[in-house]
Amino acid sequence: MKMNEYIDDFTHHLKEAMEIGNSSNLNKSEISFNNILICGLGGSGIGGTIVNDIISPDSNIPITSTKDYNVPNFVDENTLVIASSYSGNTEETIFALEKCIERNAEVCIITSGGKLKDIAIEKNFNYIIIPGGHPPRAMFGYAFTELFYVLNKYGVINDSFKNDFKKAIQLLKTEKQDIQKQALLLAEKMYNQTPVIYVASGFEGVAVRFRQQINENSKMLCWHHVIPEMNHNELLGWRTNVDNLAVVYFRNKLDYDRNQIRIEINKKVLSKFTQNITEIWSKGDSVIENTLYHIHLGDWVSWYLSEMNNVDAVEIDVINYLKEELAKL
């Protein structure tokens, strides 16, 4: 399949992921968790980052994501560890999981197979299997959705997320043509430019996903930052080396009001150095709807840019080379 076909199937992915989550048979735990650690990298790991953004404001326990071989020192028998690797063979995730197992953490695995599935069966861990054989970043809708089901099964969140997902699926279907139209216009403004992505605090995971999709699908460099932190440092960087930059603000009605004001002031400052500034407002009433709206639109932008750049959006030769070299050691 081509990447645009995967993107076009996004609402189907979300719907099927909900079906998988609803039918999952996870054993209940009597442990009182002090914290949650989500292990994962790349297309599998970004779901943990975004879930952290969505859940943390209302969670009674801290949620942390790790994208490394190592794990925080707080991990112990009162930690819920969710290991997410689409292939099931992500080196860093397996190393991190082994450290968590040594500390007797409660483990749940989300994967399509590979070594992680073998570990789950061998150790009798809870696990959810998602469809395999596709680019991990293209299957974001599955791994991301299952994280909510895992947290719900363990009693960390209630099941209100299900209605938000259903509304998001309908929203994306209804807005399909408009989303693609906006994405194409934004891609045209980003073509032959270096994209600069800004979001308000609480939506950084969305910006990271967009950046990663531009990196992997469009084969382009770009960067992102978050408001208000950006106001305390990067804003001063808008003095030199500001040629060929395309700025995009992903905005939401739910963004904190003081950050809304900051963004308006930001735009005035940046307009002195570039006129290539675009705002994309999400639609929907919930954080989940806003998040999935921006993610879907950003995915389409990355596809249009890949076409403009005449590159294969699916190809990851240099990443495969890196893995092959590591395997020799």
- pLDDT, averaged across the chain: 96
232 is catalytic: yes
Confidence (pTM): 0.96
15 is catalytic: no
Nearest one of 298, 303, 318, 304 to 50, comparing CA atoms: 298
* pLDDT per position as a tens digit, 292-311: 999 999 999 999 999 999 99
* pLDDT per position as a tens digit, 37-72: 999 999 889 999 999 999 999 899 999 999 999 999
* Alpha-carbon 6 to chain mean position: 16
Cβ proximity of 86 and 141 under 8 Å: no
Cβ proximity of 129 and 4 under 8 Å: no
Which sequence spans correspond to the domains of the chain? 3-159, 165-308
* pLDDT per position as a tens digit, 86-139: 999 999 999 999 999 999 999 999 999 999 999 999 999 999 999 999 999 999
Cβ proximity of 104 and 52 under 8 Å: no
Q: Does domain 3-159 have CATH number 3.40.50.2300?
A: no
pLDDT above 90 (res 8): yes
Residue type, 130: I
CATH no. for 165-308: 3.40.50.10490
Nearest one of 47, 41, 50, 48 to 70, comparing CA atoms: 41
Pick the catalytic residue from 2, 123, 173, 323.
323
Pick the catalytic residue from 216, 289, 294, 296.
216
294 is catalytic: no
Pick the catalytic residue from 28, 232, 268, 328.
232
Average pLDDT of span 152-163? 96
Strand order in the sheet with 245-251: 223-227, 194-200, 245-251, 277-281
Same fold, 3-159 and 165-308: yes
Kindly tell me the burial class for residue 3, based on how many C-beta atoms sit within 10 Å of its own C-beta (0-12, 13-18, 19 or more).
buried
Alpha carbon distance, N-terminus to C-terminus of the chain? 33
